[in-house]
Amino acid sequence: MLTAVTFVLILTSAVVVHELAHYLNARSVGVPVRAFSVGIGPVILRRRWRGTEWRLSLLPIGGYVDLPGMAPKVAEDGRLEHPDEGMAKKGLGAKLWVLVGGVIANYLLGAVLLAWAISLEPSYQEIVTGAPVAA
């Protein structure tokens, strides 16, 4: 049971860091964020802050940031139209900044956690540096 709880905590932490990077990068280039959600399924907690609806859903195995201009709009007659707001108005550089933010954040999270683990465990220090570690 402890292994499952640990797995869910690690996964949820990675999702939060990933989605928070998308959120912060979108805000930094002027794209409004409609919703920030951690988890999937039924929403169990919902709050509005700074123009964004913050959601916590029942199953903590994913998440998303809802950005305008990422999907086609549906016209009144049912046809799909190109979006004309949010991300659709941004240039390539801004779009890339928002989209790769999550990947960069997860890479940095992994590097920080690995460095932390190495610093805590003397045997890892010996493997990495080659020098014996005094107990």
Active site residues: 19
Rounded Cα distance, 42 and 80, in Å: 28
Rounded Cα distance, 26 and 47, in Å: 19
Rounded Cα distance, 44 and 49, in Å: 17
Rounded Cα distance, 86 and 45, in Å: 26
CA 93 to chain centre: 19
